Structure 1
Amino acid sequence: MMSPQVQKCIDDCLACYQACLSTAMGHCLEVGGAHVEKDHMTLMMACAEICRTAAHFMLIGSDHHPYICAECAEICDQCARDCKRLGGMELCVAACERCAASCREMAIPMTAG
């Protein structure tokens, strides 16, 4: 049985995975320009993948999930900033910010003690 906090983080990670992937493959490809530059697209794909991976680690009950969640929070923060900079990706920004906050909560046990 998972705690409500872990379940919320899983849900936030999966929502961010979906938002980043669909925004990159839809909005960014349609808009073009800076939205399809390598650094931005790589960041969005990295964000989507780390979110999926963090959810996976929590779902299988891995003791390593705090480490993955710490990295996920960092990448989500970076992705949110870059998407804000480019504009027009408010849903992605919101999903990244929610996921980063949830993942930071999951990473706290890693840094305690």
Structure 2
Amino acid sequence: MTTCIGDCLACYRTCLSSAMGHCLEAGGKHVEKAHFTLMMACAEICRTSAHFMLIGTPHHKHTCAECAEICTECADDCERLGGMDDCVAACRRCAESCRRMASTH
């Protein structure tokens, strides 16, 4: 669980800073509503999943399942746009970690 919390917080930090830095500076397709909203959703679900694990609620399995799905979608979209390798890597790492947490009993 500690690894997943770290992966979620790292992804939260990376998505938020990439959106507020790289995407806003790059403009164009990087600030189109669908992409920018996805990045904000990804950052928020990562933060929420980490929070749920930190407070010890069993509901973290639900947030982790959703986090894995959103992170995968975000990674794919960031990869499609290009120039966002850090975000792609953080999202893929978090998605895998959350997938494992969501499936544990």
Runs of 4+ displaced beyond 6 Å: none
Match of 2:14 among 3, 11, 19: 19
Q: Percent identity?
A: 72
Provide the residue aligned with 2:47 in structure 1: 52
SS of residue in 2 equivalent to 1:35: helix
Provide the residue aligned with 1:36 in structure 2: 31
Figure out how many residues of one structure are paired with residues of the other and give that number. Answer: 105
| TM-score, reference length from structure 1 | 0.92
Largest Rg, 1 or 2: 1
| AA partner of residue 65 (structure 2) | A
- Aligned ranges 1:57-96 → 2 under 5 Å: 57-96=52-91
Unaligned runs of 5+ in 2: none
Give the distance between the partners of 1:74 and 1:80, measured in 2 at CA. 10
Unaligned runs of 5+ in 1: 1-5
